Structure 1
Amino acid sequence: MIARPVTRRHFLRAAGVTLGLPWLESLGKAAPVAPQRFAFIYTPNGYNQAAFLPKKTGVDWELTPTLSPLAKMKDDITLITGLDRQFVGGTGVHAQCGSCWLTSSAPQETLDGGFPTNTTLDQVIARQIGADSLLPSLELSTNDHADNKETRYHECISWYAPGYAANVEKNPRTVFQRLFGKPDGNATRSVLDAVMGDAKALNARLGRDDQEKLGEYLESVRATETRIQRAEKLARQMRKPPLPEPAGIPETRGDYLRLQAELFVLAFQNDLTRVATLVIDPERWDSPRMFHGLFDKPQNHHVLTHTKGDEAKAAVAKIDRFHVEFYAHVVERLKATGLLDSTTLVMGSGISDGDQHNYADLEVLIAGGGWQRGHFHYEGKRPLADLWLTMAQRAGVKQERFADSTGTLNELT
């Protein structure tokens, strides 16, 4: 099957000047070592702790009711509990949950108004391993609420820099088109050629140092153009995606989640990106949503976490288990495509208990990636940033600190 060719304009529009040639299995030139990949799935408002937390640690930890969907793949799962973050007062108790979950800023480093947002772990890793892929990173969401009642701090977990969010894409059709593209029939000339006349005129007015800088910039763009031309030549040989272009957002909740996940799995499989984030739902967002197959009417997840009584707690536990079932599905898809060993798949929340707004004792699930398996629990004030530093170093990032980290979690490697 021959995929539709992708033009230079499509490639440049998608990824600026950070493109590379995707690795194509159909060429019969397998890389000697599979590239590392990282995916981060975010769930809002914490979890029902009583139904989620196992009592035992180590490799023989038990599966609680919430975690029971992981039974078939338990040997591929690492559960981490007890790591902490610090809430910074003045911004609202939910606003920092997702926006600062992966942040590289320590709590006292409020570089974005009252928020310690900064370049997030996914973007730090993308800068290290994403330069040779079509998209350095892919940011997705399954928030189909139409009211837009909350700010970006409740919806965006990926940030390029303090105050600069990597906005999420919610429509699977748009994601598909971005990944697999359509030829637009225009702009076959080199972008560099189009501006060369202006560049030469500008060069004549510059000093020697600035001329050298301009020359280096033009050379980097020309190198990018060369890679794009090679990618265009080989794009025709790329296997056609094993699903049609989506019509839009699926009607049922589970289908929506699985479709967005399938798109980032396909992106990994074709080496179109090596880093992805998926926001299952934004923080707080007091709009009822339908959890198809769980309840007979829409539920307000945030309000349920603040409602006393066994009925509300049971409802939260059902939603938590629904999300774990989805996580298990993604693990199975990565395993079926042979990607799990080279992919670190993370799922977690920015708070542990939604009712108490507890930023400590966080839970993190990790699958794949060659991490040590079992349940690891940390007592005391061990920052979540220690886990993020460990992951960053695993990806080859050369830094000794991440946010308020105190060291790496060597027992996981």
Structure 2
Amino acid sequence: MMNRRHFLRSTGITLGLPLFESLAKAAPAASPRRFAFIYTPNGYLQSKLLPQKAAQGLNPLTLTSTLEPLSKIKDDLTFITGLDRQFVPGTGVHAQAGSCWLTSSAPQETLDGGFPTNLTLDQLIARQIGADTALPSLELSTNDFTDNKETKYFECISWYGPGYAANTEKNPRAVFQRLFGQGQGGPQRSILDAVLAQAHSLEKRLGGEDKQKLGEYLESVRSTEQRIQRAEAAAKRIGKPPLPEPKGIPEKRSEYLKLMAELFIHAFQNDLTRVATLLVAPERWDNPTLYDGLFDKPQNHHVLTHIKGDEAKDKLALIDRYHMEFYAHVVQRLKATSLLDSTTLVMGSGISDGDQHNYADLQVLIAGGGWKRGHFHYEGKRPLADLWLTMAQQAGVKQERFADSTGILTEI
């Protein structure tokens, strides 16, 4: 039986029975909504990604050479192009690309030094739909490069507030243990029990203002206690974890990506969390990556975006297809587990053209979640934040503005 000390140490490693979507459809209560955001860095090779022509509004989805790996899931896709962001001078163009992709701050609202980082869309949604799960959200990364020469702004897309990034987990084994691990016994009295006892003892000696602060703190402790109780109840229903415990980071990148996706899919299936982010790779880092099945030698994705010539462009196109193949795999896994209809799966990048560092004409892929299908193209200036506001409202968030939004995208 898992004890509370172990739960606190791992921040939620319990498991309930899967939510069977077929039964959920027959029940009065609707299946819970889920959201997953996959981030790819350095933009896409525009000449291979975009169709030659696209009119304002809804277009048939044309599978270009980059999008061709999505052919089997074409009917499940929404492809959005032409939305814009605004770069704020004074910070690195790549650092801002990822760290502010989902930010709720308008570009001019630089509350974090020169960065407009703030509560991100995933965390806003987690506050709305994650109250009943053991983990409000799950932040994952397949950046296994150990030389951290860049700051958190290059590899964190999920933020709790200005300057406060949500730490990502990069080791599949650690993710597994956080989700599905079991305690090995321990003290009968939990850490939370001790905290509450000490707090109540202290309360007698506090003044009015300090008592209010203590009350707010105790409320957060009670919220944690409730999560523990939900996790402990789920643990009583669990038997064997649904997949073997990973040994660590797989040698092949394709297996690494698929394993991390499998972990958040199982977390969704067992209602351990309803919100997840996955950083495929950080912005700029210049870390050579071996894309198995494509190249014999590691490739530097960022450097390739700035090299002129057909050879570099051909390699970029292959890397983009590699990521599309991964996205198609995740969609197919969500379909196989009957989760796709209730899950909004997003993939995109914080810039469109990696060579030009273009913050305009961004591309976003969406699968599942009940969105209208096809290719929606926007001319002129239409903020990316309009899409994020639309998603927030779909998740039930009662909010009329998000960052520099101008309104929801009613057509999708």
| TM-score, structure 2 normalization | 0.92
Change in 2 beyond 3 A, CA 1:234/1:126 = closer
The reply to whether residue 172 of structure 1 matches residue 160 of structure 2 is: no
Distance 1:41 1:188 in 2: 41
Q: Deviations over 1:107-155 (max 9, x none)?
A: 1011111111111100111111111111111111111112212111110
Q: Deviations over 1:144-199 (max 9, x none)?
A: 11221211111000111001111111100000001112314124324443234433
Distance 1:76 1:246 in 2: 30
Distance 1:372 1:284 in 2: 34
Question: Secondary structure, in 3 states, of the residue corresponding to 1:410?
Answer: coil
Give me the CA root mean square deviation.
2.3
Structure 1 unaligned regions, length at least 5:
none
Partner of 1:104: 104
Equivalent positions of 1:220-231 (< 5 A) are 221-222=221-222, 224-225=224-225, 228-229=228-229, 231=231
Identity of aligned residues (%): 74
Partner of 1:39: 36
Equivalent positions of 1:9-28 (< 5 A) are 9-15=5-11, 24-25=18-19
Question: Secondary structure, in 3 states, of the residue corresponding to 1:200?
Answer: helix
Distance 1:334 1:366 in 2: 13
- Could you tell me how far 1:61 is from its partner in structure 2? 2.3
Partner of 2:284: 284
Change in 2 beyond 3 A, CA 1:242/1:91 = same
Amino acid at match of 2:406: T
Distance 2:189 2:357 in 1: 55
Distance 1:302 1:209 in 2: 52
Distance 1:47 1:105 in 2: 25
Change in 2 beyond 3 A, CA 1:367/1:191 = same
Question: Secondary structure, in 3 states, of the residue corresponding to 1:388?
Answer: helix
Change in 2 beyond 3 A, CA 1:295/1:24 = closer
Amino acid at match of 2:400: E
Partner of 1:245: 245
Partner of 2:3: 7
Q: Deviations over 1:241-280 (max 9, x none)?
A: 3321100000001000000000000100011111100010
- Could you tell me how far 1:59 is from its partner in structure 2? 5.3
1:350·1:359 contact (CA, 8 Å) conserved in 2?
yes
The reply to whether residue 352 of structure 1 matches residue 349 of structure 2 is: no
Partner of 1:410: 410
- Could you tell me how far 1:82 is from its partner in structure 2? 0.2
Structure 2 unaligned regions, length at least 5:
none
1:342·1:369 contact (CA, 8 Å) conserved in 2?
yes
Partner of 1:391: 391
Partner of 1:118: 118
Partner of 1:135: 135
Distance 1:230 1:264 in 2: 19
Number of residues paired by the alignment? 405
1:20·1:133 contact (CA, 8 Å) conserved in 2?
no
Q: Deviations over 1:296-336 (max 9, x none)?
A: 11111111111111111111000000000000000000000
Partner of 1:312: 312
Partner of 1:53: 50
Distance 2:197 2:171 in 1: 40
Question: Secondary structure, in 3 states, of the residue corresponding to 2:390?
Answer: helix
Distance 1:110 1:350 in 2: 17
- Could you tell me how far 1:101 is from its partner in structure 2? 0.4
2:125·2:397 contact (CA, 8 Å) conserved in 1?
yes
Distance 1:22 1:241 in 2: 10
Amino acid at match of 1:119: L
2:107·2:404 contact (CA, 8 Å) conserved in 1?
yes
